[in-house]
């Protein structure tokens, strides 16, 4: 029994997971086919101690701050069309603060579609962008995440 707990703790510490979060979404009260979902980034790789997070701080110049304790949403629902999202990215490495910045990203979304954040280093600076994601990619990511969680608590 003791050995199982040690193994479970090891898997938790050494496990790696990244996710597109559905839990922290700024929602619109319109049918799904009339809106797009833009997922921010909440990514943690525990093994290497690297975290990358992208929150959406403004939509078309309107701040999205929801108050003390809630902060900025990680993901948002948008009406179809062109939008400018202001995103805040934060990177930490083994608990130490890393690059942090805010950038405006233009995005053209279509109703019923989903988009995901990408955060890449280009010429020495971090650049956030968005790309459309398919239902199959979302399903695969959710299955991978569920499998990792099940493996962590299997013992």
Q: Quick one: pLDDT at residue 25?
A: 82
Q: State the DSSP H helix or E strand holding residue 106, giving kind and residue range, or none if neither.
A: strand 96-109
Q: Which two tokens stand for residue 72?
A: 């900025």
pLDDT band of residue 107 (cuts 50, 70, 90) is: very high
Give the mean model confidence (pLDDT) for residues 129-136: 90
Q: pTM of this prediction?
A: 0.71
Using the predicted structure, report yes or no on whether residue 61 has a pLDDT greater than 90: yes
Rounded Cα gap, residues 14 and 4, in angstroms: 15
Residue 136 backbone phi and psi in degrees, to 5: -65, -40
Pick from 1-15, 81-95, 111-125: least confident: 1-15
Chain centroid, CA 109 distance in Å: 18
The answer to whether 84 touches 105, Cβ cutoff 8 Å, is yes
């Amino acid at each position: 029994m003791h050995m199982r707990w040690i193994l479970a703790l090891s898997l938790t510490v050494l496990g790696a997971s990244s996710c597109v979060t559905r839990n922290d979404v700024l929602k619109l009260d319109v049918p799904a086919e009339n809106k797009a979902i833009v997922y921010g980034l909440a990514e943690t790789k525990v093994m290497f101690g690297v975290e990358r997070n992208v929150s959406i701080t403004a939509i078309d110049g309107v701040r999205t701050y929801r108050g003390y304790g809630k902060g900025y949403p990680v993901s948002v629902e948008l009406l179809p069309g062109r939008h400018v999202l202001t995103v805040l990215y934060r990177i930490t490495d083994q608990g130490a603060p890393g690059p942090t910045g805010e950038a405006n990203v233009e995005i053209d979304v279509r109703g019923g579609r989903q988009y995901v954040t990408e955060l890449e280093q280009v010429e020495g600076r971090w650049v956030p962008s968005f790309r459309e994601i398919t239902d199959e990619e979302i399903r695969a990511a959710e299955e991978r995440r569920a499998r990792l969680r099940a493996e962590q608590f299997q013992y």
